[in-house]
Structure 1
Amino acid sequence: MEPAAVDAPPANVLGALLQQLGMGPEQLIARINQRRARRGCSPLSPKAAYPWLREIPSLPQPDNQTDALAVLTARAGRCITASDVGWDLPRHRHRHRHLDAPGDAPLEALLQEISQGDLMDRRHLLMLTGAAATAPALALLLGPIEEASAASSGQLSERLVGSIERAVRDLREIDDSTGSASGDLTWGVGIWQSASRVVAQARGSGPLADRLHTAYIELSEQVGWMCFDARRHPQAQRIYHTGMRLARERGTSLTTRHSTANLVASAAYQSAWLGHHNDAAALLDIAARTPDLPSAAAAVIAERRVYAAGRRHDPDAVLRYRDEALLQLGSPDERAPWWATWLTKDSVDAATGRAWLSCDQPSQALPFLRSRVEAIAPDYPRDQLHAVLDLADTVHQCGDGDQARELLGQAEGLIDTVSSQRMVHRFEALSSAVAGA
């Protein structure tokens, strides 16, 4: 007769405590996720506790540690502290995170890291510039990575993929109407983290997989834009880069490549807004080289190039890209993607006015921006606020302080209807400039 199997002793202090409490690691995470749900946070992976149980354990993020200790305290009926589970040791300051360089990270490991915790909330993330900012997009020009075919570890369904596609459009509608409100952004990042887990688990090929990858790239563009609008610039950049990383490895369909071009163009807009002009120009050149772009998508990229040209004080390029955007808009085809339908001639005029304003030519900007204020629909309060602030800035630079103050009063009435830290910061800076004139 064989001897009875004996359970191996726990590898660390936390493991011993869980065994003593009759609690498995998945149960611990389930209880933590209940606490996270009450705060509106996305759930951790059911396997998130396993790195904490290694012989040399990983230490949880601070929020996760607080939740875990609260759960263990409730289970044990006594106070469980960090020292009780070996978490009072110094943290490694230079622990490698895939999100520090998403463009270079192994895709599956990157997606798992995104889905497991609160890394996007870290305040010490730094913006990447130069080669570090443009390399993930430049890699797209090399074509998809050749990989051995991998068996799917998660079965995709039409219903699941359709739900993710609808979530992207719902987020766009919310963002258009209310801006990047804290709750909306939390929800958006949570969807992005959950979708990361789906993509990581559902490898394979075929039309449904192509739709999933396209939806994930569209989601990365949308959530990245919301982080940008909330002035969480490093987080926005990491989200954009993750979308590029997925496109590099699995973006084989034309629709995926077109969505990637839009994502790269949005990353370029962020760079131009922040004054990283070389990065913006390089990213837009890469987006424009995407093959077989629908005319509506090409118009979006040209509109972004108008704005970027103004920010780098290149009036000849402003005129050239304005002509290109209007030409593409005037040559519609039946392949216009849903995310490009926002662009109209009025939108191009707005970008042109902003470009002339950035070029220190406010008199050139004035007719474009005045017509934009008159044309903008009240259904889009952030765009309306943006247009009013642009015009206030323009008339202030033209020397009309009274009208600038009148427009700022109009902007003040709009600012409570939309949540956009980007617009709030602009309003405050412009109000100070007008008051000091």
Structure 2
Amino acid sequence: MEPTAVEATPANVLGALLQQLGMRPEQLVTRINERRARRGSFPLSPKAAYSWLRDIPSLPQPDNQADALAVLTARAGRCITASDVGWDLPRPRTRHRHLDAPGDAPLEALLQEISQGDLMDRRNLLMLTGAAATAPALALLLGPAAEAASAVPSGQLNERLVGSIERAVRDLRDIDDSTGSASDELTWGVGIWQSASRVVAQARGRGPLTERLHTAYIELSEQVGWMCFDARRHPQAQRIYHTGMRLARETGTSLTTRHSTANLVSSAAYQAAWLGNHNDAAALLDIAARTPDLPSAAAAVIAERRVYAAGRRHDPEAVHRFRDEALLHLGSPDTRTPWWATWLTKDSVDAATGRAWLGCDQPSRAVPLLRSRVEATSPDYPRDHLYAVLDLADTVHMCGDGGQARELLDQAERLIGTVSSQRMIHRYEALSSAVASV
């Protein structure tokens, strides 16, 4: 009796096809990433295709599947369909993703999931509010989740690797300050964040290099989270902020790491205030302000965020109080100013105060502060200049001066071409419509 042929599994079919075409899984992903880059999507991990080749394979997301079939078709010189590689079977039930709740996820599993590919590009991510939004930050007040390991060498870590991650964070900040969160820069930033997640997940031991790595990763999470916020990818920004908090919860034992975490939490609060989630913003800022032994400049940054949030929730008394606090910290500098806090000046506090009075529906108090901000903003920072011009246009419009508002919007339109900030573009369009309707 002839032996029964073993029916090929979908994974074997795809593997056999790749072998027939002379392609390695990494080459397939490289070609897929070329297609993703052309439409501004984040790159997949180079190892992403391995999950499609397991004995019980995972099926690609629809966009990835379409890209993969297009790549295979081009390579084969004939049409390759989903049924040709076993992808026409019913999709398995969606499994739980750690990124849906980063604050509660096992840290190593969360970082590994982040490093695997396109989770941050998912369209079904939802914003978290209330306890879900603030719990990861609140957990920071409880201290490290477990006793810190004794100081031992940090495994594969070396000065060069950690230094390159630290420099990448600063390079991202420079790019974001000058051009805003353009698609290419954001793709690069998220790619660095995903790669750094893999490094952090694999790092072992404690010691100065590990502490520097953790601090750099938290700073990177703050920067990439801010870029996603500026690109109006709000759920993604929130997940990135929460991942930084999750790392800090488990490993943030040094003061430097805690201070960077306070900055990250205050940026998450700024996003919440911008979106009108005022209770979340206030809770996050209270947590950030309770960080021990904050340098004066870092405390000033948190106070400046509190000025803005107070205006958004229509609390003029708090605007006065936090403005005074920010200026007091700025006027009492110490020698421990973190690099990420050097941007804050009295002009910056004035701008936040002007925006706060605008939020409090007191535009006449905002005008002089915002006019000074427009005049003081350096042309080297076009997004900040555009932000200031839009603030002033909004303010004079509320004061009833439609003519000046239109002149300022004309100025803003000229700046739009130099800035890649979906947040500012959306505000410009909304304000233009409001002014035109008068």
Which residue of the partner structure matches residue 80 of structure 1? 80
Q: Which whole-Å CA distance do the structure 1 matches of 2:218 and 2:22 have between them? A: 32
Q: Which whole-Å CA distance do the structure 2 matches of 1:26 and 1:336 have between them? A: 51
Which residue of the partner structure matches residue 5 of structure 1? none
Which residue of the partner structure matches residue 417 of structure 2? 416
Q: Name the amino acid aligned to 1:58.
A: S
Give the drift of 1:79: 4.0
Aligned pair count reads: 429
Change (3 A) 1:46 1:226: closer
Q: Which whole-Å CA distance do the structure 1 matches of 2:311 and 2:213 have between them? A: 36
Give the drift of 1:423: 0.8
Change (3 A) 1:179 1:20: closer
Query: Helix, strand or coil for the counterpart of 2:48?
Result: coil
Give the drift of 1:57: 2.4
Q: Which whole-Å CA distance do the structure 2 matches of 1:60 and 1:429 have between them? A: 38
Give the drift of 1:31: 3.2
Unaligned runs of 5+ in 2: 1-5
Give the drift of 1:89: 2.3
Which residue of the partner structure matches residue 3 of structure 2? none
Which residue of the partner structure matches residue 391 of structure 1? 392
Give yes or no for contact 1:11–1:54 (8 Å, CA) kept in 2.
no
Q: Which moved more, 1:139-148 or 1:405-414?
A: 139-148
Q: Which whole-Å CA distance do the structure 2 matches of 1:324 and 1:109 have between them? A: 40
Whether 2:351 is the aligned partner of 1:350: answer yes
Whether 2:103 is the aligned partner of 1:103: answer yes
Q: Which moved more, 1:214-223 or 1:59-68?
A: 59-68
Q: Name the amino acid aligned to 1:293.
A: L
Q: Which whole-Å CA distance do the structure 2 matches of 1:154 and 1:128 have between them? A: 36
Q: Deviations over 1:312-365 (max 9, x none)?
A: 000000000000000000110110000000000000000000001100001111
Give the drift of 1:24: 12
Give the drift of 1:433: 1.2
Match of 1:15 among 3, 6, 12: 12
Which residue of the partner structure matches residue 244 of structure 1? 245
Unaligned runs of 5+ in 1: 1-8
Q: Which moved more, 1:16-25 or 1:271-280?
A: 16-25
Q: Which whole-Å CA distance do the structure 2 matches of 1:372 and 1:19 have between them? A: 63
Give yes or no for contact 2:363–2:399 (8 Å, CA) kept in 1.
yes
> How many percent identity over aligned positions?
83
Which residue of the partner structure matches residue 183 of structure 1? 184
Give yes or no for contact 2:107–2:247 (8 Å, CA) kept in 1.
yes
Match of 2:26 among 22, 29, 34: 29
Q: Which moved more, 1:91-100 or 1:119-128?
A: 91-100
Q: How does 1:20-419 map to 2 (within 5 A)?
A: 22=19, 27-37=24-34, 39-40=36-37, 44-45=44-45, 47-70=47-70, 72-73=72-73, 79-92=79-92, 94-146=94-146, 149=149, 155-419=156-420
Q: Which whole-Å CA distance do the structure 2 matches of 1:92 and 1:298 have between them? A: 49
Q: Name the amino acid aligned to 1:12.
A: T
Change (3 A) 1:200 1:397: same
Query: Helix, strand or coil for the counterpart of 1:252?
Result: coil
Give the drift of 1:86: 2.3
Query: Helix, strand or coil for the counterpart of 1:91?
Result: coil
- TM-score normalised to structure 2 length: 0.92
Q: Which whole-Å CA distance do the structure 1 matches of 2:77 and 2:154 have between them? A: 40
Query: Helix, strand or coil for the counterpart of 1:241?
Result: helix
Give the drift of 1:268: 0.2
Change (3 A) 1:338 1:420: same
Q: Deviations over 1:264-286 (max 9, x none)?
A: 00000000000000000000001
Q: Which whole-Å CA distance do the structure 1 matches of 2:54 and 2:191 have between them? A: 27
Q: Which moved more, 1:111-120 or 1:35-44?
A: 35-44
Q: Which whole-Å CA distance do the structure 1 matches of 2:436 and 2:46 have between them? A: 55
Q: Name the amino acid aligned to 2:10.
A: V
Give the drift of 1:30: 3.6
Change (3 A) 1:32 1:50: closer
Q: Name the amino acid aligned to 1:27.
A: R
Give the drift of 1:105: 1.1
Q: Which whole-Å CA distance do the structure 1 matches of 2:8 and 2:102 have between them? A: 32
